[in-house]
Structure formats: C-alpha cells, structure tokens
Amino acid sequence: MAIIDLKNVTKLYGDFKAVDSVSFSVEPGRIFGILGPNGAGKTSTIRMINYITIPDEGTITIEGEPVGRESQHYIGYLPEERGLYKKMKVGEQLLYLVQLKGLSKSDARDAIQFWLERFEATTWVHKHIHELSKGMQQKIQFIATIAHDPDIYIFDEPFSGLDPINSELLKQVIMELREKGKTIIFATHRMEQVEQMCDDICLFNRGKAILQGRLSEIKRSFGRNTVILEFDGDGSFIDTLEDVRINNRSTNFAEIRLLNGTDEQNILKEAIKNVSLRKFEFVQPSLQEIFISTVGEDNIKNNKLG
C-alpha cells in the first residue's frame, strides 16, 4: 500500500498551470525521485504534499488520510529555499526548530547533539547563522529537518551549496535513513544524483508527470543504446558519425547515443580506425538521455548536454 498518493493533482498560479493533473504513488521504505528541469513543477508538487499550498484540483493522501496540518508533524521537509534565522545562534535555532516538531527539550538536545557530531559541527553551536558558509548552513538546515526522526522525509535540492565531500556525507545519511525503513522523496534537476540513489522516479516536464515507475525497470525498457568510449588520440572522427547524439564529451571520452537503429559495431570500427581505444562499452542510457527521449528530442544530432 502506498504511503503517499496523488491523484489528478493540479496547481494554478493565475493563468499558469504549474502542476497539470499529476498522479503518482510513493511506497513506504523507498527513495522516490521527483526530477526534471527547473520550473517543471517539482517544488509546487512538494509544497502541496507538505500542505504548504493546496491543490486546485485532485487529492493528496498520506497513509490514506488527506494531507493537513496533522500530517506536517511526521514529515521532515528540507525546502529548496532555506529558512534559517540569520541572527540566531546555531544551538538555539536547532533547539527551537526541533521542539516545534514535538520533541521535549531533553530529547531535542540529545538528537541535536547526535547529528552535530555526525556532521562534525559541534563547534558551531555558539556561532550565529550569518557567520556560517552556505554549505555549513545547509548542514544545519538538514539537521533541523531530520532530528525529530519522522517517518517521511522530503528533500528539495538537498545538495545545493555543498562541496563533493559534504555531498557524499549527505548521500550516506540519506541512504542510512532508507535502510531504517524511512520513506524519502528527493527532488532535483540533477539526474545523475537520482540515478545513484532512487528506487522509483517520477519525471516532470512542463507541469506534467511524463514518465514514472521503478528506475531499474524504466532503464531496462529503453534497452542498451548508448556507447561509452575512452581513447587516446584525435577524437574529431566523432563529429562525422551519423544518426547519433554526442553526450558528455571531453578530450579522451565520449558518451554516444545511437539513434535510428545505428549499429554499435559501426561506431567501434570508426573508433579503431582513428584512435587507440582504452574502453568501448555498450550500455543502457543515462537518465538524462531517457528524459530527452521521453520529451521527444531524438531528432537532435550531436547535441552536447550541459
């Protein structure tokens, strides 16, 4: 049984339809990725799940009950726009925010201490928020989100502002929460992050849910249609290939999407003629490539993705 269920949810801002008749279900104990480009409707959907805004049409339920003020208490929500009080000290702010979620002062202190130690942030307790870097503030906001140990976590662009080391730490914590049976919704436009972490996805574009399901099954359904090349030599031959899209290209690397039934052996032959190959691999497409296919842009040739 789904723990979160959206049915035909629509959200309007004036004449703009930010979310357009979206339906999906989130199973308990899994990481559910809401992904798509900026402005696709991800944050608007998350705000409705959190009962910050309400749908103009459709229904949202958590454990069979309509979302409302009560459901906010068992959700840990990390918004895209961070909301810390700049002039408060870290310790005071965390204690205030965690107690708002229903913990006693003693339990809140214990939980905060645990997570400050985990994030190597115990020396920040007496610092004011404005003294912290953006990445340090992000850690504090994350602690405030998870310290009351809710059953459901909703993270909107959680890695924004973090360096690679702290991004990896945050990812480890999210995976540990999943292992404890927590349900996690994770929204981002960074599709490689979803690919690494999520069990299930819902892909948004222009307010619509255009693709959803188990990530492994979605990737399998697209088959193997991407070639990975690593090589030494002049890679200019890649520019002459027909019926392909070049993706993530660098000096000695290329990810090549095969279009219109192109045979991977043709790519291999051209590569052998022109460069010294270190790697040739025929793989399933990346999630970013799946997105491009789904929104109908496969007629693009040699389009480099940013």
**The pLDDT value given to residue 297:** 52
Count of domains forming the chain: 2
Give the CATH number for residue 161. Answer: 3.40.50.300
Cα–Cα dist 226/197, whole Å? 21
The domain boundary residue, chosen from 184, 199, 220? 220
- Cβ atoms 202, 23 nearer than 8 A: no
Cα–Cα dist 267/227, whole Å? 8
Residue 222 CA to its chain's centroid (Å) = 21
Domain of residue 269: give its range. Answer: 223-294
Cα–Cα dist 120/227, whole Å? 41
Does 95 lie in the same domain as 159? yes
Residue 188 clears pLDDT 90, i.e. is over it? no
Does 173 lie in the same domain as 215? yes
Per-residue pLDDT band for 52 (boundaries 50, 70, 90) equals: very high
- Between 299 and 95, the more confident residue is 95
Cα–Cα dist 253/162, whole Å? 27
Q: What confidence tens digit (pLDDT) does each residue in 231-278 have?
A: 999 999 999 999 998 877 889 999 998 988 899 999 999 999 999 999
Does 102 lie in the same domain as 11? yes
Does 269 lie in the same domain as 151? no
Within-domain flag for 305: no
The domain boundary residue, chosen from 168, 202, 220? 220
Does 263 lie in the same domain as 166? no
Within-domain flag for 302: no
DSSP state for residue 298 in the 8-state scheme: T
The domain boundary residue, chosen from 220, 236, 256? 220
**Secondary element (H or E) of residue 141:** helix 134-146
Amino acid present at 230? E
Q: What confidence tens digit (pLDDT) does each residue in 129-166 have?
A: 889 888 888 899 999 999 999 999 999 989 887 888 88
Does 165 lie in the same domain as 104? yes
Residue 208 CB neighbours (<10 A): 16
**The pLDDT value given to residue 302:** 33
Cα–Cα dist 253/130, whole Å? 42
Q: How big is the CA angle at 251 (ends 246 and 252), to the nearest 5 degrees? A: 85
Percent above pLDDT 90 for the chain = 66
Within-domain flag for 306: no
* Phi and psi, residue 302, nearest 5°: 60, 40
* Phi and psi, residue 33, nearest 5°: -95, 125
Per-residue pLDDT band for 196 (boundaries 50, 70, 90) equals: confident
Does 246 lie in the same domain as 138? no
Does 66 lie in the same domain as 139? yes
pTM, 2 dp: 0.83
**The pLDDT value given to residue 49:** 97
Does 123 lie in the same domain as 25? yes
**The pLDDT value given to residue 304:** 31
**The pLDDT value given to residue 103:** 92
Cα–Cα dist 31/9, whole Å? 21
Structure tokens at 186: 């994770």
State the average pLDDT over residues 274-292.
88
Residue 306 clears pLDDT 70, i.e. is over it? no
Does 228 lie in the same domain as 104? no
Does 260 lie in the same domain as 196? no
State the average pLDDT over residues 18-25.
97
- Cβ atoms 21, 9 nearer than 8 A: yes
**The pLDDT value given to residue 102:** 87
State the average pLDDT over residues 176-205.
91
Within-domain flag for 301: no
CA dist list (Å): 294 to 18, 36, 186, 209: 19, 11, 21, 11
Within-domain flag for 16: yes
The widest CA-to-CA distance across the chain, in whole angstroms, is 70
Does 253 lie in the same domain as 141? no
Per-residue pLDDT band for 105 (boundaries 50, 70, 90) equals: very high
What is the residue-averaged pLDDT of the chain?
89
Within-domain flag for 117: yes
Within-domain flag for 283: yes
Percent above pLDDT 70 for the chain = 96
Residue 214 clears pLDDT 90, i.e. is over it? yes
